Amino acid sequence: RVFLLRIFTLVALIGGLYALGEFRRRRPGEPPLDKGLVPWLGHVLEFRRNTLTFLERMKQKHGPVFTVQLAGFYFTFVQDPLSFGALVKASREKLDFNKFAAHLVRRVFNYEAIEADHNILQISSNKHLKGNGLEVMTQAMMSNLQNLMLYNVGLPADKKTWMEEALFAYCYNVVFRAGYLSLYGNEPFDSKSSEETAREKDRAESEALFYEFRKYDQLFPNLAYGVLPPGKKREADRLTDYFSNFLSVQKMKTRDNISRWIWDVQQAQEEAGMKESMINRHMFVLLWASQGNTGPSSFWLLLFLMKHPEALKAVKEEIDKVVKESGQEVQQGGPLLNLTREMLMKTPILDSAVEETLRLTVAPLLTRAVLQDMTIKMADGRQYFIRQGDRVAVFPYSAVHIDPEIHPDPHSFKYDRFLNPDRTKKTDFYKAGNKVKYYTMPWGAGVSMCPGRFFATNELKQFVFLMLVYFEFELKNPDENIPGIDFRRWGFGTMQPDRDVQFRYRLRH
Ligand code: HEM
């Protein structure tokens, strides 16, 4: 009996080690394999602590393609920008985004995705977040930004008085709330309640929403890694419920100006037979996707402009010219600026400054599940076998955004980096003599590329436009260094600063 027990223990142990991936060996033709010292966890602790330095270390050790173990999964990183095309264009039967995304949203938002989700989002986004649809969204955003930023313009107390605020808190607050109101609609008004009361309610409600959102935002990195302690996990669950109620289908039906983007997604999910409680949770997923990055990006953009007076001057001159050419003049007590989509399309210098900001501060991790054994073909002709069940990932921040060969002096903000001398958009970037197609990837690429990218860029530009047209602003301490990046958020989109910066602003006119 003792003998049998020993055999059983041995078999269980071997089975356990096998399940933990201990027996995996590199096969001929596969990329270098680095499992890390801890069974199953592999390198995940170092990866989580600082994804950038970990991946740079692995690249130094193994070259641009390597397989590492991260919490039970084998990830093959492809960090050669000239070879991204092969991954981006790989067929969906081989590399799949949905499976990975579904896993993440279940863990983070308690949301059970359905097969049709991706398609539903694509259709609605193509209709309403670009082209003509964007015209409507731009107007909504404009009206909401003006409500939040200018509602007290002209009040005697505020005339020419400097107001001091923390820049990150200010930018995130305004852009989040205006973005939320533009997508999820406004408080209605009628003969009984005035427009001003409704606008006041929009301001108060969006403020309350932002306050809770920031709590969730802080929990997010550890929630996504599945390492929140129980108390914090309960807090995250409470917040998920709060947002699902706040954004529920029933509530949305009572609002005015709800965007067609949100409306169409809700309708399509209802038609696909999804339970209303689940659609409500999806409304929070979309709030997260649409509002978690734009606010932080607007902070970096304003900060870089303030730290680079030549950039600020160039952007300001461009904006003043566009306003003048539109025949409008911003005056105290005069009508509010009507900033149209057409005006926003005449700002190449601002466009370049936005792209440069995103290059320096947006760091998504693009991940695909490997559905079949496959071969990755590199630009230099090498080939690697990849196993079914593994994952393939790209971290463009280190592979392209800060590659000094593609972007010389990569850690400096150069507002005209993406401008040709004739002020057209610069798209020619080279590595080892080859043209790099994916020279920045803040929006991801291929099937999972951000469907909100045109709207997001517009939001950033509208915010900066209004700041420059209506206010003068400056850092409280102009010599203050640009804050560092909070490393916990590598891989999740726009990075956040590790501290805030004080600035002040006052009306220009
Ligand atoms: C500066 C702002 C933004 C950045 C940097 C950004 C970045 C990204 C990235 C990198 C992805 C792909 C993630 C992946 O491949 O795993 C993504 C997905 C997504 N983004 Fe954005 N985004 C921004 C703003 C927006 C806005 C304003 C909206 C909507 C109005 C939006 C809606 C979405 C949605 C719905 C997805 C998921 C798409 C899918 O499942 O296929 N994003 N975003």
* Domain CATH code at residue 305: 1.10.630.10
Q: CA angle 386-392-396, nearest 5°?
A: 135
- Please check whether residue 508 is in contact with residue 329, taking contact to mean a CB–CB distance below 8 angstroms: no
The beta strand positions in 206-336, using DSSP E, are none
Q: Which bin fits 505, alpha (ψ -120 to 50), beta or left (φ > 0)?
A: beta
Ligand 1, residue 494: give the atom nearest the CA: 5
The answer to whether the CB of 185 is under 6 A from ligand 1 is no
Q: Decide if 43 is inside a domain.
A: no
The answer to whether the CB of 280 is under 6 A from ligand 1 is no
CB atoms within 10 A of CB 416: 17
Model pLDDT, residue 193: 77
β-strand partners of 362: 494
The answer to whether the CB of 402 is under 6 A from ligand 1 is no
- State the amino acid at position 49 in one-letter form: R
Q: What is the dihedral of CA 468, 469, 472, 476, to 10 degrees?
A: -30
**107 in a labelled binding site:** yes
Model pLDDT, residue 154: 55
Q: To which residue do tokens 């001003």 refer?
A: 196
Q: Decide if 83 is inside a domain.
A: no
Report how far residue 318's alpha carbon sits from residue 343's, in angstroms, rounded to the nearest whole number: 11
The answer to whether the CB of 457 is under 6 A from ligand 1 is no
List of the chain residues with pLDDT < 50: none
Ligand 1 centre to CA of 262 (Å) is 15
| CA R_g for the chain | 25
Report how far residue 387's alpha carbon sits from residue 74's, in angstroms, rounded to the nearest whole number: 9
Model pLDDT, residue 326: 96
Residues 6+ apart with CB under 8 A from 504: 162, 163, 164, 165, 473, 474, 476
Residue whose Cα lies nearest atom 37 of ligand 1: it is 450
Report how far residue 287's alpha carbon sits from residue 310's, in angstroms, rounded to the nearest whole number: 36
Residue whose Cα lies nearest atom 6 of ligand 1: it is 443
Q: To which residue do tokens 């996504």 refer?
A: 224
Q: Which bin fits 40, alpha (ψ -120 to 50), beta or left (φ > 0)?
A: left
The answer to whether the CB of 292 is under 6 A from ligand 1 is no
Report how far residue 77's alpha carbon sits from residue 33's, in angstroms, rounded to the nearest whole number: 11
CB atoms within 10 A of CB 41: 15
Model pLDDT, residue 467: 96
Residue whose Cα lies nearest atom 3 of ligand 1: it is 293
The answer to whether the CB of 182 is under 6 A from ligand 1 is no
Model pLDDT, residue 19: 59
Nearest CA-CA partner of 170 in 466, 492, 493: 466
Q: Decide if 162 is inside a domain.
A: yes
Report how far residue 499's alpha carbon sits from residue 332's, in angstroms, rounded to the nearest whole number: 35
Report how far residue 44's alpha carbon sits from residue 54's, in angstroms, rounded to the nearest whole number: 10
Ligand 1 centre to CA of 317 (Å) is 31
Ligand 1 centre to CA of 17 (Å) is 38
Q: Decide if 300 is inside a domain.
A: yes
The beta strand positions in 137-271, using DSSP E, are 163-166
- Please check whether residue 68 is in contact with residue 74, taking contact to mean a CB–CB distance below 8 angstroms: yes
The answer to whether the CB of 297 is under 6 A from ligand 1 is yes
Q: Decide if 209 is inside a domain.
A: yes
Q: Decide if 104 is inside a domain.
A: no
Mutate to test the pocket of ligand 1, among 450, 455, 492, 496 (most ligand atoms within 8 A of CB): 450
Q: Which bin fits 279, alpha (ψ -120 to 50), beta or left (φ > 0)?
A: alpha
For the chain, the domain total comes to: 1
- Please check whether residue 341 is in contact with residue 414, taking contact to mean a CB–CB distance below 8 angstroms: no
Q: Decide if 16 is inside a domain.
A: no
The answer to whether the CB of 396 is under 6 A from ligand 1 is no
Residues 6+ apart with CB under 8 A from 298: 171, 172, 174, 175, 459, 460, 463, 464
**Domain that includes residue 227, residue range:** 117-364+400-507
Relative to beta strand 430-431, strand 434-435 is antiparallel
Report how far residue 92's alpha carbon sits from residue 136's, in angstroms, rounded to the nearest whole number: 33
Q: Decide if 14 is inside a domain.
A: no
Nearest CA-CA partner of 401 in 391, 419, 413, 392: 413
Residues 6+ apart with CB under 8 A from 470: 149, 150, 153, 330, 337, 507, 508, 509
β-strand partners of 418: none
Predicted TM-score of the model (pTM): 0.95
Ligand 1 centre to CA of 449 (Å) is 7
Residue whose Cα lies nearest atom 9 of ligand 1: it is 443
